[in-house]
Amino acid sequence: MTKRSMTLSVALALGISGTATLAHATAIFDGFVESVSEICTEQPSTSCAFAVKNFLDADGDGFIVYDEVLAARDDARNSMKSQESKLDPQARGIVAVALLVTQDSQLPGVFSNFDTNGDSRLDEGELFADFTLDDRPFGDVMADPNGVDWQGFTSRFGQAGMLIWGLLPAEYRQ
């Protein structure tokens, strides 16, 4: 898995964690994928986190609520088919697991695991609590053994976190 596809797949997983028409949802999510790909691979990881948070924060109030995550998840589901060809098999697997764990039965628990202060909304700090955000691109942060608490991040996804953990390249599981 390339650093670029790993960066994109983790950003997508975070971005997936009001249903629109299929065409509208696809256009919105495809635009997000295109912009976040460049931001997360070339700009500081703080910019990547800001872009992902802003995508999820549909009403622009600075926080992500459960309904916004549901809407983003629905857009991602509708759009994923057009994006699959851009991701390698391992990255597709991570996104597929992210979509799996954001099914209605799993999503409340996943959301609660990210909502560390219990206020029923996520801020950028809660969403990226397991990542060391700095001036390096997101991919460099992820490749740094000290840049991500992968066990902490995957544990937020409950039992499905083990699937995510298993899909990570070996060097990320150190």
List, for residues 3-55, the tens digit of each pLDDT value.
Answer: 555 554 555 555 544 333 344 445 556 666 667 777 888 899 999 899 888 88
- Tell me if 95 is assigned to some domain: yes
What is the pLDDT, as a whole number, of residue 107?
Answer: 80
- Tell me if 58 is assigned to some domain: yes
What is the pLDDT, as a whole number, of residue 24?
Answer: 42
Burial 115-151 (b: 16+ CB within 10 A, else e): beeeeebbbbebbbebbebeebbbbbbbbeeebbebe
- Tell me if 172 is assigned to some domain: no
Average pLDDT of the residues of the chain: 76
107-140 pLDDT, tens per residue? 888 889 999 999 999 999 999 999 999 999 988 8
- Tell me if 117 is assigned to some domain: yes
Number of domains in the chain: 1
pLDDT over 60 at 85, yes or no: yes
- Tell me if 129 is assigned to some domain: yes
What is the pLDDT, as a whole number, of residue 132?
Answer: 94
Range of the domain at 8: 3-167
The tokens describing 67, both together, are 């309904």
Looking at per-residue pLDDT, the higher value among 58 and 19 belongs to: 58
73 with 85: CB under 8 angstroms?
A: no
